[in-house]
Amino acid sequence: MNTRIRVFVVFDLPKLFRMVLIASFSLVVFLLSSLPAHANRVMSMTLAELVDKAGQIIQGQVVDVSSGRDEHNLICTWTTVRIDDVLKGNIATETITFKQIGGKDEETGTINTMLPTKFTIGQEVVLFLYGKSKWGFSAPVGYQQGVFNLYKDMQTGESKVSNGMSKQVLFQETPFQKSRKAKYDSQKSSIQSAMKNCETLHLDEFKNSVRQLAALFSK
């Protein structure tokens, strides 16, 4: 009997291994399909590209961050931002909440480390968001590139913004995505003018330039 049991286990291990691989692969495919279009492609992006690809752009303050499981039983994080200004998109509410994959299930303590962009309560931002995916997920455009944090200039006291990218990248004249080059070339002078007007990254000038770019790409 022992021999027969050992043979059974040996012959079934490959099958079990294949089942685990298939299940793991299916989960990865599901998670990738849950992300907004292009959200899983990380590359440097100019300000013009960030504006063009964003479904919504807002200025505001993070007022809530919570994690748990969604209707698909996936561990997710919901971030709520109080809206102070809308730079792109039609938003009639005082707050906006977006869901990202990853976070912690508070009931079980299970942690999913996939959370692409983390936020803290009280954080002041100009936020560039993708539109929602079919599973209800969204994320900042280009991950951290779509999060411009507000701060006070220590010397002047003026409000400025930064997403951590160099100005050389942010204000590059040609897009990093070659597929968009023809589109941008047709409005090259207007795009360059809008970006040049906010090279100091002063908050008000930056918002004006973002609005100008959003209007250009809506034509």
- Percent of the chain whose pLDDT exceeds 70: 81
Torsion over CA: 49, 134, 140, 102 (sign): negative
Closest CA to 211 of 88, 89, 126: 88
Mean pLDDT, residues 173-199 taken together: 85
Please report the pLDDT score of residue 41 as a whole number. 55
Half-sphere exposure of 5 (CA within 13 A, CB side): 2
pLDDT for the residue 23:
40
Task: Kindly state whether residue 113 falls inside one of the protein's structural domains.
Answer: yes
Residue at token pair 């299930």 = 105
Q: Is residue 98 part of a domain?
A: yes
Which of 3-7, 27-31, 73-77, 113-117 is predicted most confidently? 73-77
134 assigned to some structural domain: yes
Mean local confidence (pLDDT), 118-128:
97
pLDDT over 90, % of the chain:
62
The pLDDT value given to residue 180: 74
Where helices occur in the chain by DSSP H, the ranges are: 2-34, 47-53, 167-170, 181-185, 188-196, 203-217
Alpha-carbon dihedral of residues 157, 160, 165, 167, nearest 10 degrees? -90
Under the banding of pLDDT at 50, 70 and 90, the label for residue 135 is: confident
Examine residue 5 and state whether it is found in any structural domain, yes or no.
no
- pLDDT tens track for 76-119: 999 999 999 999 999 999 999 999 999 988 888 888 888 889 99
Domain annotation covers residue 34: no
* Residue 64 belongs to a domain: yes
**Mean pLDDT value across the chain:** 83
Residue 12 within a domain: no
Domain that holds residue 116: 47-217
Q: What are φ and ψ of residue 28, in 5° steps?
A: -60, -45
Q: What is the pLDDT of residue 25?
A: 37
Q: Rounding to the nearest 10 degrees, give the CA dihedral for residues 20, 139, 177, 42.
A: -50
pLDDT in tens, 42-52: 689 999 999 99
Distance CA 201, CA 174 (A): 19
**Confidence (pLDDT) at 38:** 47
pLDDT in tens, 36-85: 544 445 689 999 999 999 999 999 999 999 999 999 999 999 999 999 99
pLDDT of residue 187: 87
Helix (H) or strand (E) holding 207: helix 203-217
pLDDT-based confidence at residue 207 (cuts at 50, 70, 90) = very high
Query: Structurally, how many domains does the chain consist of?
Result: 1
CB 89 within 8 Å of CB 57: yes
Residue at 3 is within a domain: no
